[in-house]
Structure 1
Amino acid sequence: MERVKKIFSLIHLSAWVLFTLLVGLQLRSDTDAHWRSTTAGFIATCLYVFYMHFYLLTQYAGKSKGREYWLRLAGLALSGPSPFLLFHHKPFDFGYYSMHVITTVPIFLFLSWLARVTETLVLNTIRKEQLEKQAAETELNYLKSQINPHFLFNTLNNIHTLVYKQAPTAPDAVMHLASLMRYMIYEANAAMVPLAREMDYLRDYVSLQQLRYKNSAVVDLQIAGETASYHIAPLLFIHLLENAYKHSPARLEPGDLRVRVELADGMLTFSVQNPIARKPTNLLEEPGGIGLPNVRKRLALLYCDQHTLTIENTGEIFTVLLTIHGLHVPAHERQAHLLHH
């Protein structure tokens, strides 16, 4: 905001310098013996009228002080030519220059109003954009902060079950959880993270959840494409995978949960497919009001008009398909674009 105000100040200064030069050259070409004092008086009048009106608009416009504004405006209009008369050497006879200044007063009153309205409009627009960016950042931080306690709650329940049963895999579960929390605390705070690191996070999560099952891997996770050169918003896919576990039957066969990640030409396709438990559940809700609604909000903020989220329920199979395009954009440009929108 301060930078914009400095730009306006430079515009004012440049405009007045140019205007002064033009007036001086014009009066000098008219062979006026007192062209210097005439120029000084004329410019002084213009400055006086312009910035006094500018001040009145700043102090009284839009503040239920209309009466005070109009009284001061009338006084300004009457006193407008006075700076010119102080510099002018000729008697006050309403001659050419005097009349010229008198007619100039309303012109610079209008120009002052136009400048004040323009600056106010620009500053308000910038201020509105800054507030929208701040609101978006605040909401993104809030949505991201919901992930940690929700995920920790579910995972600690799983570890509690393993410890209660004195399962030998309990220490491994703690180590997996430590690895996941390290990523969530130290790496996922960035606006964008390497896609390869996010995929490692999902693999760790799958390994931790696998400790609940005696069968072979219940998740068939396949990644196709080069993940090293892409960046993604952190913790974006975890709820989709959590929902697949939550709404599947208690007993899962190997490969019942299918997770596919495909990358091609800057487009990412993420799909999760799981069998539906016989007991009816609300697939769009999570404890505390998060889950898929959380994902929808983050996608709307982060990838507005650059993603599609499709949910299909056949009664037996539940499928979530997410596509995001434009991932070839460098991470720093992506962040600037998202905050601007």
Structure 2
Amino acid sequence: MERVKKIFWLIHLVVWVLFTLLVVLQLGGKGDVHWRSTTAGFIANCLYVFYSHFYLLTRYAGKRKGGGYWLQLAGIVLTGPLLFLLFHHGPFEFDYYAMHLVTSVPIFLVLGLLARVTETLVLNTIRKEQLEKQAVETELNYLKSQINPHFLFNTLNNIHTLVYKQAPAAPEAVMQLASLMRYMIYESNAATVPLARELDYLRDYVSLQQLRYKNSPVVDLQIAGETAACSIAPLLFIHLLENAYKHSPARLEPGDLKVRVEIQEDTLAFSVHNPIGRKPDVVLEAPGGIGLPNVRKRLTLLYPGQHTLDIHSTGDIFTVTLTIHGLHAPAHERQAQLLHY
């Protein structure tokens, strides 16, 4: 905000310097021996009227303009031409006073009004955008804070089972969890992370979950396209994968969970397919829990108008497909689009 105000003052300075040069060129070429004092008086008159009204409007900004404003405005109008006459050689001439009273004074009163309105409009627009950005960041931080306890709760339950059974894989599970938490606590604080790093995080998660199964890897992860040049908002995919585990049968065969990541130009498609597990006399909970509503909200905030989230079930297979467009859009364009939405 202070930077914008400094820019406005620089604009003021440049405009007044150019205006002064124009007046000097106009009056200096007429052969008047007193052109310097005439120029100084005219510039002083213009500056006084312009900035007196400018600051008067600043003082009454957001307030009803009562008698105090109009009384002070009348004072500016009546005293404005006097500065010109102070520099004028010779006795007081009412004609000069009246001429400036009906020409330069109204013009610079209006210019002061336009300058004040313009600056107020720009500053208020910037303030509004900053407040909206802060609100979005606050909500995103809140949504991300929901991820850590939810994920930690699920994973600690798995490790507890391994420890209870005195499984040799328990120490490895603890190290896997430490690696995952390091990513979640430190690296995921950035607005975006390399897609390759986010996929490494998913691989670590899959490795940790695989400790629950005796079969060969139950997750079939396939990646197509170039991931090195792409960045993505962190922790978008983990809930989709968690839901696949959560709502699958207790016994999974190798490759039952299919995860596909495909990058084409600036479009990313992430899909998860899992068999639906059903227990007798228990109604299947709608897939999502905390996860899918969280993902939907974050996508709305991070990729407004740039994503689709398709969820459908064929009865035995549940599929979630997330498509994100415009991965390479500049940050300022994404921010402008976010504020628009």
Give 2:166's aligned residue.
Answer: 166
Query: Quick one: which amino acid aligns to residue 78 of structure 1?
Result: L
Whether 1:67 and 2:70 are equivalent positions in the alignment is: no
Query: Quick one: which amino acid aligns to residue 47 of structure 2?
Result: L
Is 2:276–2:318's contact at 8 Å kept on the other side of the alignment? yes
Whether 1:299 and 2:302 are equivalent positions in the alignment is: no
Instruction: Map residues 155-304 of structure 1 onto 2, 5 A cutoff.
Output: 155-278=155-278, 279-283=282-286, 285-286=288-289, 290-304=290-304
Deviates more, 1:51-60 or 1:242-251: 242-251
User: SS in structure 2 opposite 1:113?
Assistant: helix
Q: Distance in 2 between matches of 1:84 and 1:209?
A: 85
Q: Distance in 2 between matches of 1:261 and 1:5?
A: 47
Q: Distance in 1 between matches of 2:60 and 2:231?
A: 51
| CA shift for structure 1 position 65 | 4.8
Query: Quick one: which amino acid aligns to residue 45 of structure 2?
Result: T
Deviates more, 1:186-195 or 1:78-87: 186-195
Give 1:99's aligned residue.
Answer: 98
Give 1:53's aligned residue.
Answer: 53
Query: Quick one: which amino acid aligns to residue 142 of structure 2?
Result: Y
User: SS in structure 2 opposite 1:318?
Assistant: strand
Q: Distance in 1 between matches of 2:228 and 2:45?
A: 66
Is 1:61–1:69's contact at 8 Å kept on the other side of the alignment? no
Whether 1:16 and 2:16 are equivalent positions in the alignment is: yes
Identity value in percent: 76
Q: Distance in 2 between matches of 1:33 and 1:99?
A: 23
| CA shift for structure 1 position 139 | 2.2
Query: Quick one: which amino acid aligns to residue 157 of structure 2?
Result: N
| CA shift for structure 1 position 285 | 4.0
Q: Distance in 1 between matches of 2:114 and 2:49?
A: 13
In structure 2, the CA distance between the partners of 1:74 and 1:281, relative to structure 1 (3 Å rule), is farther
| TM-score, with length taken from structure 2 | 0.91
Query: Quick one: which amino acid aligns to residue 202 of structure 2?
Result: L
Q: Deviations over 1:173-199 (max 9, x none)?
A: 112112211222232222222212211
User: SS in structure 2 opposite 1:80?
Assistant: helix
Give 2:90's aligned residue.
Answer: 90
In structure 2, the CA distance between the partners of 1:71 and 1:98, relative to structure 1 (3 Å rule), is closer
Give 1:151's aligned residue.
Answer: 151
User: SS in structure 1 opposite 2:229?
Assistant: coil
Flag as ranges the 4+ runs of structure 1 deviating above 6 A. none
User: SS in structure 1 opposite 2:21?
Assistant: helix
Deviates more, 1:109-118 or 1:160-169: 160-169
Is 2:188–2:235's contact at 8 Å kept on the other side of the alignment? yes
Aligned length: 333
| CA shift for structure 1 position 67 | 2.3
Q: Deviations over 1:253-311 (max 9, x none)?
A: 2222111111222321100011223243443542xxx3111111222222222221111
Is 1:266–1:326's contact at 8 Å kept on the other side of the alignment? yes
Give 5+ residue unaligned stretches, structure 2.
Answer: none
| TM-score, with length taken from structure 1 | 0.91
User: SS in structure 2 opposite 1:283?
Assistant: coil
User: SS in structure 1 opposite 2:33?
Assistant: coil
Q: Distance in 2 between matches of 1:138 and 1:338?
A: 17
In structure 2, the CA distance between the partners of 1:24 and 1:228, relative to structure 1 (3 Å rule), is closer
Instruction: Map residues 116-131 of structure 1 onto 2, 5 A cutoff.
Output: 116-131=116-131
User: SS in structure 1 opposite 2:260?
Assistant: strand
Is 1:284–1:293's contact at 8 Å kept on the other side of the alignment? no
| CA shift for structure 1 position 110 | 0.7
Query: Quick one: which amino acid aligns to residue 283 of structure 1?
Result: A
Q: Distance in 2 between matches of 1:320 and 1:285?
A: 11
| CA shift for structure 1 position 205 | 0.7
Give 1:76's aligned residue.
Answer: 76
Is 2:243–2:288's contact at 8 Å kept on the other side of the alignment? no
Q: Distance in 1 between matches of 2:128 and 2:21?
A: 38
Q: Distance in 2 between matches of 1:210 and 1:310?
A: 27
User: SS in structure 2 opposite 1:162?
Assistant: helix
Q: Distance in 1 between matches of 2:161 and 2:54?
A: 72
Give 2:27's aligned residue.
Answer: 27
Q: Distance in 2 between matches of 1:18 and 1:219?
A: 71
Q: Distance in 1 between matches of 2:326 and 2:28?
A: 61
Query: Quick one: which amino acid aligns to residue 246 of structure 1?
Result: K
